[in-house]
Amino acid sequence: MNRMLLLLTALSSLLFAQREPALGGRAMERLESLKKVRMIEALALDEETGVKLVNRYTRHRESMKNLEKERSAVVDDVAKLAERNASDAEYQKAFARLADAERNAVAERAAFIAGLKDLLTQKQVAAYIVFERDFVRDIRDIMRENQRPRLRRE
């Protein structure tokens, strides 16, 4: 259980470490659709279970997007504080809000993973966690490969 919590914390910090996607709205939607299809394939789910998982995943992604917006707003506030040389007390309040936002994201991620246990087997939950990591890594690698030719031309 401690390993699972540590893994969840590490995964959520990776999510927050990523910037806003460079892709536009339509491209991002297509990427999310691809991810859902590949997720169902990777977990070898039947149609009914696949639909249930996609619905849960979609709700989870919306929650995570909202939490990231909240976190981003707090970081914007921290930047404003730095611009106007705020007091230590103001910084401490902002840092506390930032820590709350981080904890909320970790809690959301943990609740999502825990909620999968009534839908998927333990092995499938593990496969989902690995799939998430590998999918992000694969997309990042593809984007880097696509950027290299452009960087050489410049």
pLDDT of residue 151: 65
Please name each of the domains of the chain with its CATH number: 24-153 (1.20.120)
Provide the whole-model pTM. Answer: 0.73
Dihedral angle at the C-alpha atoms of 60, 63, 69, 72, nearest 10 degrees?
-70
Could you read off the pLDDT of 88-144 as tens digits, one per residue? 999 999 999 999 999 999 999 999 999 999 999 999 999 999 999 999 999 999 889
pLDDT, average across residues 5-16: 44
Instruction: Tell me, letter by letter, the H, E, C secondary structure of 37-105.
Output: HHHHHHHCCCHHHHHHHHHHHHHHHHHHHHHHHHHHHHHHHHHHHHHCCCCHHHHHHHHHHHHHHHHHH
Query: Is pLDDT of 65 > 50?
Result: yes
